[in-house]
Structure 1
Amino acid sequence: MTESESKIKNKTTGAWASLLKSLPTLLVLGVMGAGWMAMHHINSGGHSELIEDEFVKLTQVDHLLLPEGKVQAGKFGSEPVTTQEVRHEHTVPGRLRYDQTKHVDVKAPIDGIVTELVVSPGDLVKKGDLVAVIRSPEIGRARVEILKRQKDRDIAQQLLDRESKIATNLNRFIEMLDEGQSVDVIEDAFSDLALGNYRRQILSAYSRMRLADELVAKVRPLVESGSVSGRTVREREGERQLAETEYRTARDEASFEIDKSVMKAKADLTEAESQLSLAWQSLETLLGYAIEDGVKASMDDDAGATLEVRAPFDGSVESRTFAPNERVVRGDSLIVLANTDSLWVEANIRESDWPAVALRPGVAVEVTVPAIEGQAFPATVKYFGREVQANTNSVPLVAEIDNRSGILRPGMFVRVTVPMGDARQALSVRPKSLLQHENEQFVFVQTDAGAFKKVDVETGKTSDQWVEVKSGLSPGQLVVTDGAFLLKSELLLQGEGE
C-alpha cells in the first residue's frame, strides 16, 4: 500500500468514527422535533376540532330535564315574558360639586376693622346668625341717612293724615251748610274737629248769605204794605244773590284746595318713602345682603358705625381668613360658607352618548359612588350646557342630588347612569335571564316542572331592569331568572356527555 492510499484510509476511518460519536445527539434532536410537530398539531387543528365538536353538541342539545332533587337544590325562579317600558341607559363618569347657589364666599362689603369674628371652620350656622362685626365710618353715614329719611317719611305721613282728616271733616261741614243748618248748630257740631282755615272762610260767607236771606224775608211784607219801595227789595235780593255766590265760591275753592293738599301730601309721602328705600338699598349694598323688615324696624339712633355681617343661609363654615382687629378692604373674603344638603353632579356627555342631550330638566338619573358600595342615589337633571367644548367634544350635564344625610362629599368620583333616547314599549326579560356562549345570546324557557328549553334571542335596548327581546320569545312564556347560569352549566355537561 502506498503512502497516499494509507492517508486516505485513515481519513475515512476518522469520519466514520466522528459520525458514530454524534449519532446519539442526532437521534435526540430527531425525537424532539417529532414531539414538537405532534404537539403543534394537537394545539392547532386537533384542539379547534374539539371546541367545534363541543359547540356543535351544545347547539344541538337545547332541552334539559332535571330530576326533582336538582330542581329543589337549584331554587330556580321564572317570570313570564311581558311588555315593558324600555329605555337604553348609559353610565358616564362624573364628580360631586358644591351647589353653587349654596356655596358663598362671604366678603367684606366695606373698608374697616374687624372687631369680632365669631365663627371658625367647621361651625354650623343658621341663616341670619352673626358671623363678624366690622367698624366703618361709611356704615355710620349710611345709617344717619336712613334715620333722616325715616324722619322725613314720618312727617310726610303726619301731614297726609292731617290733610285727609280735614278733607273728610270739610265734606261733612259743607253737607250741613247745604242742608241750611244754623251757624250755631254747625259750630257746635265741628267745635272739636279740624277744618283748618276753611272754617272761617266758608262760615263767614255762609253767615252773610243767611243774613241776606233774613233781610229779604223781612222787607217783602213791608213792600206789600207800601212802607218800603220795590227798589229796596230788589237791592236786598241782589245782595242776597251776591252773598250766595260768595258762599258757593268759598265752598268750591275750599274743596279744591283740600283735594290739592291731600294729593300733595300723598306725593310728598311717596317721595319720602322712595328716599328712605334708596337709603336702605345703599346700606344693603354695603352689607351685601337684604335686611329683613323686623331688623329695619328695630334700628335706632344708637346703631353707630358698626356693621354686623350675618350668614345668608344655613350652612357650615368651610374656611376663615381674618382674625379680630385686622383691617379689611372691600372685597376681602371673611369666610366661605357652604350648605351641602344638596350637591351638584357634574358629568360630560360625549359624542357617543349624544342621545342623552335630549334629556330635559327634571328627568331622574341614578348616581353610584365607588367609595360607597351597594347604594345608589337618585338625582334630577338641572340643566345641560349649551356650548360644546372643543377639546373634549362634549357638553356638561349638571344634576342635583339630595345630601341631607351628609354621606356624600364634594369632590367624590361618581358614575352617572343616564337614559339614552326615548322610552318605548317592548317585549322584555330580566337582565339576569340573558346568557351568552360563543357570541350567541339565549335564555331558558321553562316548559314543565323540571323541563327547560334553550332559546336563542336577539336583544335590543337595555336598562337596569329590563332587556328588550326583538325575536325568539312570545308573550307569556316563562323565562328562567334565578338559576339560569346553573342550567347553562348543566347544558354544557350534557353536551359533553353526548
Structure 2
Amino acid sequence: MKSHSQHPSSHKSMFYGIGLTMATSIGMVAIVMLAGWRPNVASTNSRGASPRSPLLTAVSQVSDRTPPPPADASTEIVIELDAQQVESAGIKTEVCRRQPFSQTIEVTGKVALNEDRLAHIHSMVDGLVDRVAAGLGDHVQADQLLAVIHSREVGAAKLELYQARLELEMARVRFQLAETIASNTLQLVQALKDGVAIEAIEEAFRNKHMGDYRARLLGSYAEYLKSAADLQRLQEIRTVGAVAEKTILSARTKRNADLAVFQATLEEVEHELKSQKLELSQAVQKAESRVTVALSNLSILGVEPEAVDSIDPAELGESISDYPVRAPFDGTIIMKDIVLREQVTSNKLLFSVADLSEVWVSADIYEEHIPLLHQLDGRQITLRTAAWPGKTFTATVFYAGDLVDEATRTVSMRAVASNPEGLLKPGMYVSVELPSVDSRAAVVVPVSALQHHAGKDFVFVQVADGKFQRQDVQVAGVNETEVAIARGLQEGQRVVVQGGFILKTKMLEDLLEE
C-alpha cells in the first residue's frame, strides 16, 4: 500500500480559501442584519424546522459560492420580492421628477480674527509702568483701565493747562470789570450830554464803579459849568456898565475853552472805553486759545477729556503725571507685553485686544467656481467643524476676492461669522459649504435612492409590483438631500428611496449564484 502525502503549500492554500469563504459569509450576514432585514417567520414545517427567508438562506450558503463577477457584469437585473418581503424590507418608492436643483460646493476654510475689531495698543508717551490692571485672556469692557504709566510729558502738559486756565479766569474777570466800568461811565457821559445838574449826577452815580473816569468827566464838566455861570453873571451886570467889554470877552473865551475841554474829555473817555474793551476781549480770546492748545496737546497724547476737567496740582500730587491705558472696545486680551516698573516707549506694543464675538472665515476658491463668488457677496454660507460635531454655524460673505493667487490658482473669499459663545477659535479649520446660486432643472432623486457597486452608480426602478430593476445612472450633482441625474433615468419613473440596500444585497446574492 502506498501512502499519499500532500505538499504543505496545498494545505495552506486550502485553509486560505476556507477562511476567505467564511469571512465573506459572515460579512454578508452582518450586512443583511445591519440593513434591518427581518425575515418572515412561519410555523414549523413537517420536519420540525422553521423556514427561513430566501435572502438569509442565500447568504448562509455563500461559503459554497464563487466570488462576485467583475465590475462590467450586466446591469439588466430584476429583483423580485413578494408583498410580504417588500413590507418586511421596508421598501418605499417615489416618482422622480424634473425640478430645480442647487448643488452645494464644499471647501476648507480657516477661522481668523476680525481685523475690523482688533486693536494693537501702544503708549502715546514714554514713561514708567506704575500699574498693570489686566492680564492675558481677560475679557475687558470698552474704556476699562489696562495699565497706568507715569509720564513727565503728561505731567508738564497738565500743568500747562492748569496755568492757562488760571490766566483765562483772570482775563475774564478783568473783562467783566471793564464792561461794568464802561457801562456806568457811558451812562454818566449820556447824563452829562443831557445837561443833568451836577448834584443829581452825584446822587445817581454815587455807588457805581467808574474808575478815574468819574473824576475826569465831572472835573471837566464842573469847570465848564463854572465858566458858563461866570459868563452869565457878567452879562447880567453889563447893562449897568459896571463890566468892561474886555472882561466879558475873556469870560466867554474861558467858557468856550472849558466846553471844548469837556467835549474832548467825553470823546476821549468813550474812545478809551472802546479800546479797553477790545483789548481785554482780545486778552480773553488769547487765554482761551492757550487753554485750547493745552487741551489739544493732551488729546494728542491720548489723555481723556474727563481726566483734565478739573486739575489741582496740590490735590493730585505725583498722580498728575499718570497716563492711563484703556481698552478701545469690548474684547479679549490676546497679547500682553508689559510688567511693573518697566520703562516703555511709544513704539512698544503693550496689549492686543480682539473682539471674538465676531470672527472672519477665509477660504480659497478655485478658478472654476469664480463665477459663483460674484453672486455670493452678502449671502450666508454654512460652516462645520470637527471640534463641534453636529453643530452648524453661519457666516455672511463680505469679500469675494479680486486677485488670483499665482501659486495656488485660487481666489481668497472672506466672510464674517457671529461667535457669541466663542466656539469658533481663530486658527481653527472649518468646512465651508457654498450654496449654488444658479438652480438648473434636472431629474432629481433623494440621496437614499442612489446605490453604488463596482464603481458604478445606479438606482432601483420599480417596473411592476414586487419587481425592481437595477438602472445605471450618471450623476450630475449631489447636495445634502438630493441627487441630480444626468443620464439613465427618466422623469416619471418610480425609484426605490428606502430599503434599496436590501435589494442591493439580493442583487449581490443573485450575482454570486451565477
TM-score of the pair, normalised by structure 2: 0.59
Equivalent residue for 2:108? 93
Residues 10-40 of structure 1: per-residue CA shift (max 9 Å, x gap): xxxxxxxxxxxxxxxxxxxxxxxxxxxxxxx
Root-mean-square deviation (CA, aligned residues, Å) is: 5.9
Residues 230-287 of structure 1: per-residue CA shift (max 9 Å, x gap): 8555763564255224313420332133123202321332133213421453xx3xxx
Residues 93-117 of structure 1: per-residue CA shift (max 9 Å, x gap): 2111223354445556666655554
d(CA) in 1 for partners of 2:222 and 2:499? 120
Query: Could you tell me whether the CA contact under 8 Å between 1:206 and 1:247 is conserved in 2?
Result: no
What letter matches 1:144 in structure 2? Answer: A
Matched, 1:341 2:365: no
Map residues 293-332 of structure 1 onto 2, 5 A cutoff. Answer: 293-297=305-309, 300-301=312-313, 302=317, 303=319, 308-318=324-334, 320-321=336-337, 324=340, 331-332=347-348
Equivalent residue for 2:37? none
Structure 1 residues 409 and 77: alpha-carbon distance in aligned structure 2, compared to 1, 3 A threshold = farther
Equivalent residue for 1:140? 152
Map residues 270-289 of structure 1 onto 2, 5 A cutoff. Answer: 270-281=289-300, 284=301
d(CA) in 2 for partners of 1:473 and 1:267? 91
Which of 151, 156, 174 matches 1:162? 174
Query: Could you tell me whether the CA contact under 8 Å between 2:158 and 2:320 is conserved in 1?
Result: no
Shift of residue 155, structure 1, vs aligned partner: 1.2
Equivalent residue for 1:20? none
Map residues 245-260 of structure 1 onto 2, 5 A cutoff. Answer: 245-260=264-279
Task: Please list every run of 5 or more consecutive structure 2 residues that lacks an aligned counterpart in the other structure.
Answer: 1-67, 462-472, 507-514
Shift of residue 377, structure 1, vs aligned partner: 1.8
Map residues 58-457 of structure 1 onto 2, 5 A cutoff. Answer: 90-106=105-121, 114=129, 116-134=131-149, 139-164=151-176, 166-167=178-179, 170-171=182-183, 173-175=185-187, 177-178=189-190, 180=194, 200-201=212-213, 204-205=216-217, 208-209=220-221, 212=224, 216=228, 219=231, 223=235, 226-227=238-239, 231=249, 233=252, 236-237=255-256, 239-281=258-300, 284=301, 290-297=302-309, 300-301=312-313, 302=317, 303=319, 308-318=324-334, 320-321=336-337, 324=340, 331-358=347-374, 362-383=378-399, 386-418=402-434, 432=446
Aligned residues: 420
Structure 1 SS opposite 2:293: helix
Structure 2 SS opposite 1:405: coil
Query: Could you tell me whether the CA contact under 8 Å between 2:397 and 2:414 is conserved in 1?
Result: yes
What letter matches 2:74 in structure 1? Answer: L
Query: Could you tell me whether the CA contact under 8 Å between 2:188 and 2:205 is conserved in 1?
Result: no
Shift of residue 323, structure 1, vs aligned partner: 5.0
d(CA) in 1 for partners of 2:159 and 2:428? 51
Query: Could you tell me whether the CA contact under 8 Å between 2:383 and 2:393 is conserved in 1?
Result: yes
Task: Please list every run of 5 or more consecutive structure 1 residues that lacks an aligned counterpart in the other structure.
Answer: 1-41, 59-65, 285-289, 445-456, 494-498
Shift of residue 411, structure 1, vs aligned partner: 1.1
Shift of residue 144, structure 1, vs aligned partner: 2.7
What letter matches 1:93 in structure 2? Answer: T
Equivalent residue for 2:48? none
Equivalent residue for 1:50? 74
Query: Could you tell me whether the CA contact under 8 Å between 1:428 and 1:466 is conserved in 2?
Result: no
What letter matches 1:96 in structure 2? Answer: V
What letter matches 2:306 in structure 1? Answer: G
Judging by fraction of residues, say which structure has more helix: 1
Structure 1 residues 434 and 206: alpha-carbon distance in aligned structure 2, compared to 1, 3 A threshold = farther
Equivalent residue for 2:19? none
Structure 1 residues 158 and 325: alpha-carbon distance in aligned structure 2, compared to 1, 3 A threshold = closer
What percent of counterpart residues are identical? 19
Structure 2 SS opposite 1:261: helix
Structure 1 residues 132 and 274: alpha-carbon distance in aligned structure 2, compared to 1, 3 A threshold = closer
What letter matches 1:255 in structure 2? Answer: K
Structure 1 residues 93 and 432: alpha-carbon distance in aligned structure 2, compared to 1, 3 A threshold = same
d(CA) in 2 for partners of 1:190 and 1:106? 65
Query: Could you tell me whether the CA contact under 8 Å between 1:120 and 1:317 is conserved in 2?
Result: yes
Structure 1 residues 260 and 375: alpha-carbon distance in aligned structure 2, compared to 1, 3 A threshold = same
d(CA) in 1 for partners of 2:161 and 2:203? 40
What letter matches 2:384 in structure 1? Answer: T
Structure 1 residues 385 and 162: alpha-carbon distance in aligned structure 2, compared to 1, 3 A threshold = farther
Shift of residue 127, structure 1, vs aligned partner: 3.9
Residues 159-191 of structure 1: per-residue CA shift (max 9 Å, x gap): 034314533652464256325485676677776
Shift of residue 440, structure 1, vs aligned partner: 10
d(CA) in 1 for partners of 2:154 and 2:234? 79
d(CA) in 1 for partners of 2:204 and 2:405? 84
Structure 1 residues 489 and 172: alpha-carbon distance in aligned structure 2, compared to 1, 3 A threshold = farther
What letter matches 2:162 in structure 1? Answer: Q
Shift of residue 313, structure 1, vs aligned partner: 3.9
Residues 289-347 of structure 1: per-residue CA shift (max 9 Å, x gap): x3322223365531166655444444444455565456666645555544422222122
Structure 1 residues 487 and 296: alpha-carbon distance in aligned structure 2, compared to 1, 3 A threshold = same
